[in-house]
């Protein structure tokens, strides 16, 4: 670890610490052996904020959770949007009241209504896991603009699957792919964007970083971008083997 100030750990939540409301105790046991002050939680959730996540982690037996060490896509959204687009643009967050409230509190003009004619031309549309019509909205942008990255369209995250009730279901990234767009090329708030890690003060030039997560497309790519070790959690709902971690550098 020569040259690094200290080792830090970035832990994914959905599919890693828990699957829906079901704790994955094998991983929680590992996380509880890490130094709490150097353990960070980075979630692509666009409906739960850091305090909600802290309470959930504590209820599942994760020890010494620091709220300041947690970021979700919901937490990151206001500053990320301001950095990407400025504060003057109208924000459409179809279907996601939590995101709309977060952005409204930060001073944005925002609506969560879905009954617009898409694509909108007077603001930024942020698709989220709560956007039930994400696929058709993305398709409207695809048709409305010839660009592979349609202007004014952003995502809270690019997860292709989400866990629900202990199972995995198609996620926002899946809907966007179905519309013929590359979710990784679209502006996105959550992983694998390094924005959240940067907001947590994690710096690959100073920190020896380990990422523990379940998804290659988000956690694995984040690890690659941060030159980190990636410990991949097997998915108990998809794999016959017990939950656990396997060291892997990609
Ligand atoms: Mg995950």
Ranges of each domain in the chain: 6-70+192-241, 74-185
Q: Which token pair is 192?
A: 């694998």
pLDDT of residue 236: 52
Q: What is the pLDDT of residue 120?
A: 95
| Per-residue pLDDT band at 239 (split at 50, 70, 90) | very low
Q: How many A from CA of 199 to the centre of ligand 1?
A: 19
Q: Tell which wins on pLDDT, 20 or 113.
A: 113
Which residues are within 8 A (CB) of 37 and not within 5 positions of it... i.e. 6 or more apart? 66, 69
Question: How remote is the CA of residue 217 from the centroid of ligand 1, in Å?
Answer: 10
Cα of 212 to ligand 1 centre, how many Å? 9
Q: Is the peptide bond before 119 cis (omega within 30 degrees of 0)?
A: yes
Ligand 1 centroid, distance to 100 Cα (angstroms): 23
Flag the least confident range among 19-23, 96-100, 142-146. 19-23
In angstroms, the CA 40 to CA 195 distance is 14
Please tell me which of 26-35, 160-169, 237-246 the model is most confident about, judged by mean pLDDT: 26-35
**Local confidence band at 89 (pLDDT 50, 70, 90 cut-offs):** confident
Q: What is the mean pLDDT of the chain?
A: 91
**Under a CB-based contact definition with an 8 Å cutoff, are residues 128 and 172 in contact?**
yes
Q: How far apart are CA 97 and CA 129, in angstroms?
A: 12
Distance 163 CA to ligand 1 centre (A): 8
Please determine, for residue 247, whether its predicted confidence score (pLDDT) is greater than 50: no
Enter the pTM of the model: 0.91
CA 164–ligand 1 middle distance (angstroms): 12
Give the model confidence (pLDDT) of 32-81 as tens digits: 999 999 999 999 999 999 999 999 999 999 999 999 999 999 999 999 99
pLDDT surpasses 50 at 125 = yes
Determine the topology of domain 6-70+192-241 in CATH.
Rossmann fold (3.40.50)
pLDDT at 3 (0 to 100):
84
Q: Do domains 6-70+192-241 and 74-185 have the same CATH topology?
A: yes
* C-alpha to C-alpha distance for 56 and 246, rounded to whole angstroms: 25
The pLDDT of residue 235 is 63
Q: What is the pLDDT of residue 165?
A: 67
pLDDT of the residue at 185:
95
Residue 143 Cα to ligand 1 middle (Å): 31
Nearest in space to 119 (alpha carbons), one of 104, 135, 139:
139
Specify the pLDDT at position 19.
83
* Tokens describing residue 75: 């937490």
| CATH dotted code for 74-185 | 3.40.50.1000
CA 72–ligand 1 middle distance (angstroms): 12
pLDDT at residue 234 in the model? 77
CA of 177 to the centre of ligand 1 (A): 19
Query: What is the 94 CA–ligand 1 centroid distance (Å)?
Result: 23
Q: How far is the CA of 16 from the centre of ligand 1 (A)?
A: 6
| 12 Cα to the center of ligand 1, angstroms | 6
Q: How far is the CA of 75 from the centre of ligand 1 (A)?
A: 17
């Amino acid at each position: 670890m020569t040259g690094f100030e200290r080792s830090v750990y970035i832990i994914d939540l959905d599919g890693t610490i828990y699957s829906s409301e079901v704790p994955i105790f094998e991983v929680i046991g590992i996380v509880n052996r890490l130094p709490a002050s150097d353990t960070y939680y980075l979630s692509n959730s666009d409906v739960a904020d850091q305090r909600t996540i802290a309470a959930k982690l504590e209820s599942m037996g994760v020890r010494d959770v620091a709220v300041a060490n947690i970021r979700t896509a919901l937490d990151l959204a206001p500053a990320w949007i301001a950095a990407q687009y400025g504060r003057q643009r109208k924000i459409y967050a179809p279907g996601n009241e939590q995101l709309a409230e977060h952005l409204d509190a930060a001073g944005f003009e925002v609506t969560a209504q879905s009954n617009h004619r898409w694509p909108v031309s007077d603001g930024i549309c942020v698709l989220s896991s709560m956007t039930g019509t994400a696929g058709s909205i993305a398709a409207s942008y695809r048709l409305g603009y010839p660009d592979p990255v349609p202007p004014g369209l952003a995502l809270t995250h690019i997860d292709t699957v989400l866990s629900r009730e202990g199972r995995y279901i198609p996620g926002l990234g899946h809907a966007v792919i179905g519309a013929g767009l590359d979710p990784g090329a679209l502006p996105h708030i959550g992983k694998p964007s390094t924005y959240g890690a940067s907001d947590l003060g994690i710096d690959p030039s100073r920190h020896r970083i380990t990422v523990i997560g379940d998804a290659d497309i988000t956690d694995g790519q984040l690890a690659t971008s941060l030159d980190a070790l990636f410990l991949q959690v097997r998915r108990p709902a998809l794999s016959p083997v017990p939950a656990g971690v396997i060291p892997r550098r990609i």
